[in-house]
A and B are shown apart, each in its own frame.
Chain A
Amino acid sequence: MNCNPIFFFQIRVKPDRTGVVTDGVKHSMNPFCEIAVEEAVRLKERKLVKEVIAVSCGPQQVQETIRTALAMGADRGIHVDVSGKDYENLGPLQVSKILAALAKKEDASLVVLGKQAIDDDNNQTGQMTAAMLDWAQGTFASEVVIEGDKIKVVREIDGGLETIQIKMPAVVTADLRLNTPRYATLPNIMKAKKKKIDYMKPSDLGVDLISRIEVVSVDEPPQREAGVKVESVEDLVSKLRDSGRI
């Protein structure tokens, strides 16, 4: 699961233009990851999977995210500790290596993720994880039905909906309409306190965090400029042409 700045928070670019300010910005579970956790818990409630493990990579603060997942019904958690500069450079490639290593270690048959994280909007981790494991993948899932050792995934695509059938083990990424995540109720939050969270470092999994990408600069979107009034439709079309819009 990803731990992102809360999406309605005011985000500012860091003065050195290497990223956005994350200090003091309240973080919470990525909304798509919430949906992924919910789906996993539902599969367990329907007795289609035996155990749900919630994984998060990052510094200390992701423990709260893991606890929220435990409160929603995950059985145990794994906190892969990545902090400081490593955390800033943590991208889909590194995370997918970690997830792939964990999936093998835990002998998982299904990895469920949010389709993308709302901080970077990369939409790569699920796909990369599947590639590394050489597993089937069902991405942008709006419906997941387990049928024996196969999964029917209804995917949201540009043209509408696509239904595919994939064999387990597989990676599924959750889209918005897959489900509505449950609230973490107080009794479940208290029960979650007793659930185990394993702690490990990427090196324990044999994963190196070297980034293949260097962020050159981060800029805020250009300030909104005043509009220009035009007299006629012809004027509008010619102005749009001039600015290269059409």
Chain B
Amino acid sequence: HIHSPQRRAVCRRTVDFDMLGSCSSAALRAVNVGIRAGRAAQLRLVHTMRPEPHSAASLMDIGTRRIFSEEHDIFRQSVRRFFQEEVAPYHTQWEKEGQVSREVWKKAGEQGLLGLCIPAEQGGIGGDLLSAAIVWEEQMYSNCTGPGFSLHSDIVMPYISHYGTPSQVQRFIPPLAAGTSIAAIAMTEPGAGSDLQGVRTYAKRDGSDWILNGNKVFISNGWMSNVVVVVAVTDREATSAAHGLSLFLVEDGTPGFIKGRKLEKIGLKAQDTAELFFEDVRLPADALLGPENKGFYCLMAELLQERLLIGALAMASCEFMFEETRRYVMQRKAFGKTIAQLQTVQHKMAELKTEICVGRAFLDSCLQLHCEKRLDSPTASMAKYWASDLQNRVATECVQLHGGWGYMWEYPIAKAFVDSRVQLIYGGTNEIMKELIGRSIVSQK
């Protein structure tokens, strides 16, 4: 929408953004001010006025938010439809089974929803970060936390893409993008979570092979996984634990690799979180992912995106819960009118909307920065902890606004509430986030 007097005479054609560089330019359009008489066209850069979500009818409306373009809107329509048609109808069943179906993974692969940020030359989709963010958001808007698409595509696949040898990339990326193979990453152990350096899983050299022993817990996509990136100690003599960790690609079916059981969580019921055991697993030399003993640095580099991702999921969930609650309060009657007509409810909704919109502005700024490769680790940590804290506050308030129905499993808000709790814990606890942010504040560098 260009608010200029030349609007009627404008013949808009979008210019290839690649030449403009980063995806921040998605908000800038080169407008060809073409007059029918065929005068020479002038190129002018104008901001297209995409509405802000806070002034749209719904915080989840397609066509809002400055960081996105029209192409993103078209993609979002497709993604929204996918979650509505292929995921949501089956989710209750999947919650009972503690896992989603293999079919939905294949369907997601067929629709090109997996490996969005992985370069096309490697077998990925070759899309931008914002397109990946659309998939993260639409999944939360559909309130279906079962499918571990974002972990698979935007946490695990980047490890293989960035640190894999050409042969590893060629072997693993295409089936992961197709959804015929499911990825997981195993860092946490029963005795080491935040204390990543307390990892005990050990890979010992045996000729050119490695022998892996240990166990991992709380591994998302663990039960269904076909390939797992395992964090293990490779140098017990290292000066600090950080210098002795390596990453390995372990495939399902390798002798000694045992999937213990699906873990019974209080939320994320359709997510197949599992414990994994490695008993004298023999791995060939080419199972090593990235440089030996440099695993810690790979993790530090990749954890930034994981934290931003969790923050993005949190904000999208807030928006979903808000709209869900808005719908509820506008039809729920009490004391002769809808509860939306009660001042306390209106004030509560006003507070929620304000906080969510403030959070959304920050998250979008972080997404934009990450697009331009300008997001730093402390800021990603800020996004993760602040947005997940907000998500949990919003969840609590929204359940309360639903009254007794908010406590019923069949109500979407109940599921969103329990699912939100883990966001404070995984991907690095919010306490660890504060550690990282605090250190960056007082560091002398």
A binding-site residues for B, Cβ under 8 Å: 24-26, 28, 60, 63-64, 67-68, 71, 83, 183-187, 189-190, 192-194, 197, 199
Contact = CB atoms under 8 A, between A and B. Distances in A.
A186 B125 contact: yes
Interface of B: 1, 8, 11-14, 16, 56-57, 61-63, 70-71, 73-75, 77-78, 81-82, 111-112, 116, 120, 125-127, 131
Given A68-B77, A186-B125, A197-B13, 20 more contacts: A25-B57, A60-B1, A60-B12, A63-B70, A64-B70, A64-B74, A83-B8, A183-B111, A184-B74, A184-B77, A185-B78, A185-B111, A186-B112, A187-B126, A189-B75, A190-B127, A192-B74, A193-B14, A193-B71, A199-B11
A24 B56 contact: yes
Given A64-B74, A187-B112, A24 B82 contact: no
Given A26-B62, A186-B131, A187-B112, A63 B73 contact: no
A189 B1 contact: no
Contacts of B8: 83
9 contacts: A26-B61, A60-B12, A64-B74, A68-B74, A184-B74, A186-B75, A186-B125, A190-B71, A193-B14
Nearest to B120: A187
A189 B327 CA distance: 33
B71 A67 contact: yes
B371 to A, nearest CB: 15
Contacts of A25: 57
A28 to B, nearest CB: 7
Contacts of A185: 78, 111-112, 125
Contacts of B120: 187
B22 to A, nearest CB: 16
A83 B8 CA distance: 9
Given A26-B61, A184-B78, A193 B16 contact: yes
> Among A28, A67, A184, A187, which residue has the most Cβ atoms of chain B within 10 A?
A184
> Among B11, B61, B75, B82, which residue has the most Cβ atoms of chain A within 10 A?
B75
Contacts of B56: 24
Given A183-B82, A186-B127, A28 B12 contact: no
B78 A183 contact: yes
B76 to A, nearest CB: 10
A184 B80 CA distance: 11
Contacts of B14: 193
Given A24-B57, A28-B77, A64-B73, A186 B116 contact: yes
A67 to B, nearest CB: 6
Q: What 10 pairs between A and B have smallest CB-CB spacing?
A: A185-B112, A183-B78, A186-B127, A184-B78, A183-B111, A199-B11, A68-B74, A189-B71, A189-B74, A189-B75
Contacts of A186: 75, 112, 116, 125, 127, 131
Nearest to B86: A183
A29 to B, nearest CB: 9
A186 B111 CA distance: 9
B2 to A, nearest CB: 9
A164 B16 CA distance: 46
Contacts of A187: 112, 120, 125-127
